[in-house]
Structure 1
Amino acid sequence: MFGLVLGVTALTAHASVSAQETLVDVASYRGLAADHRANRPGDILTILVQEATRAKSQAATDAGSQVDIAADLTTPHDRYDAGVGFGGRSNAGAQTTRMGELRTQVSARVVSVANNGDLQIEGDQVLVVNGERQQIRISGLVRVQDISSDNAVLSTRIANANLELVGVGVVSESQRKSILYKVFQWLRLL
């Protein structure tokens, strides 16, 4: 009988200790059947970047002016005619077209959650190919409803999206204009 009382006492003491200590963090635990889409700070989600931009600006001017002055003098023996004329015409046209396209996937981290449940996200990805370094940065607000079941969201569904692609290396350096070119352009020689 003493062994049975000792066993029950030990079992009761063990149960009270295990109720206080657990291997699972109750605040961050998600069950196997729970929704595993990002919904709190520190969670990661995939951004499917599918951006295409196109802008076109066109302007044309057509101006002209003309001034004519004429005088005529007639005497019984002679006739004098005089005239002065000025004219001018100017035509000008300009067109600017710019297109850009970016298609990639970037992982982003939830930084904070707004009162209405929207997620503030930030992501950064660096890719180096043949010494050319490209960095993609993305930030903005994502509605939890726009996150798919595979924990991904389209970049077009990000509010206040800030998407930046920066390249540094031989290719991007070759795109920069030299100081000599800029001087000739300023002097309107190019």
Structure 2
Amino acid sequence: DQSNSLVGNISVNVLQVLNNGNLVIRGEKWLTLNTGKEYIRLTGVIRSQDVDVNNTVESTKIANARIEYSGTGAHHNGQSPGWLSRFFNGPLWPF
């Protein structure tokens, strides 16, 4: 089992207002760290009535939520398979 948690806020833009009044949203936040840059990208659909007086929405109220967390730099590159692993798992390896 894999478990991750994110805590924080992210600003989003409304990309589209659907016929039923729901809002298609998308936002991205970049973080610069010692070892590189990381980003969090969020897309989904919210109901306009779920936007509170502080202009925020709880993450549990985002339908079709898609959350991407990735980055660049030494830490991120360390997560990628090396050239030998790519060779043995690639299309040229017959076994």
- TM-score normalized by structure 2? 0.81
User: What is the match of residue 70 of structure 2?
Assistant: 166
Q: Which residues of 2 match residues 64-83 of structure 1 at below 5 A? A: none
1:152 aligns with 2:88: no
Residue aligned with 2:76, SS: helix
Q: Which residues of 2 match residues 53-132 of structure 1 at below 5 A? A: 97-132=1-36
Q: Any stretches of 5+ residues in structure 2 without a counterpart? A: none
Q: Which residues of 2 match residues 28-43 of structure 1 at below 5 A? A: none
Larger radius of gyration: 1
User: What is the deviation of 1:180?
Assistant: 2.8
Q: Which amino acid aligns with 2:58?
A: L
User: What is the match of residue 140 of structure 1?
Assistant: 44
Q: Which amino acid aligns with 1:151?
A: N
Residue aligned with 2:77, SS: helix
User: What is the deviation of 1:181?
Assistant: 4.5
Task: State the distance in 1 between where 2:55 and 2:79 align.
Answer: 38
- TM-score normalized by structure 1? 0.43
How many residues align? The count is 90
User: What is the deviation of 1:103?
Assistant: 1.5
Give the alignment's Cα RMSD to 1 decimal.
2.1
Q: Any stretches of 5+ residues in structure 1 without a counterpart? A: 1-96
**Larger fraction in strand:** 1
4+ runs deviating over 3 angstroms: none
